[in-house]
Amino acid sequence: MEVIKTGTILIENGTLLPRSLVLSSEPYSKNWTTVTNLRSDFERDITQAGWTFFFLAGEIHATVFGFNAGTAVHTAVERLIANAKSQNCNCLEIGQVTMKSYLGLPFACVSAHSRHIQGGSVFRRLTWGMTGTANQIEWAEQIKARVSIEFDRVAKALEGAAGSRISTRAVLEILEDKRAEVMAKDQAGYFIVEWQELRDQVRRLIAQDPRYQAHLKEGITL
């Protein structure tokens, strides 16, 4: 398995590519591989074919606790892949990979940018899986991107919260579960109704989880 580091590019299996591009890759997960082409050659071949390698602004982050660094990083990257897919992107470029420690408990922090390979110069968002009218889907996709950033913001706040290391880890795990549940929603109306105005939805989702109630006495508050 390719080592994940700054600059690593992952691509979804089955992504349509220019015929002139010969992709060299190594398996990373069930449906994604790491690109092993020389970076400059990879981007040059895409450009020369008249295609575009889109770079989405807005860095995305994932934090995973674990004593096994490799496993923690892999899990974090899987979450970032899910985030990229929620933005209808077929590639992911790794930004930073760092291992940190909170009260003696190590955790991996991985940042990345969603990227997308597509013919032409206009980013056409693919809307499979999202139900609603064309206008609703376009609106919901914009909201969904902001929701992902909101989950990142709350996760960072929790990382700096005072309390026992066990409680912090548990609450962050609940947050990631809730993120996965929300980002998997396929109804445009859900995002428009529930998330159009960002308030404290993420914190309320965590607080309503039975696992959070079990850790209230351990010092973590939202």
Q: Quick check: 59 and 112 in contact, CB under 8 A?
A: yes
Give the pLDDT confidence score for residue 130 in this predicted structure: 77
Taking each helix axis from N to C terminus, what angle separates 165-183 and 69-86, rounded to the nearest 10 degrees?
30
Q: Which of 37, 30, 38 is nearest to 12 (CA)?
A: 30
Give the pLDDT confidence score for residue 76 in this predicted structure: 92
∠ at Cα 112 (40, 164), nearest 5°?
150
pLDDT bin (cut points 50, 70, 90) of residue 34 is very high
What are the structural domain ranges in the chain? 1-126, 130-216
Give the pLDDT confidence score for residue 126 in this predicted structure: 52
The label of the residue with tokens 């696992």 reads: 211
Task: Compute the average pLDDT of residues 184-205.
Answer: 91
Taking each helix axis from N to C terminus, what angle separates 134-159 and 69-86, rounded to the nearest 10 degrees?
150
∠ at Cα 19 (17, 21), nearest 5°?
70
Cα distance between residue 167 and residue 157, in whole Å? 14
Whole-number average pLDDT of the chain: 84
pLDDT bin (cut points 50, 70, 90) of residue 81 is very high
The pTM is what? 0.61
What are the pLDDT digits (tens) for 137-189? 888 888 988 898 898 888 888 777 655 554 677 788 888 888 888 887 888 89
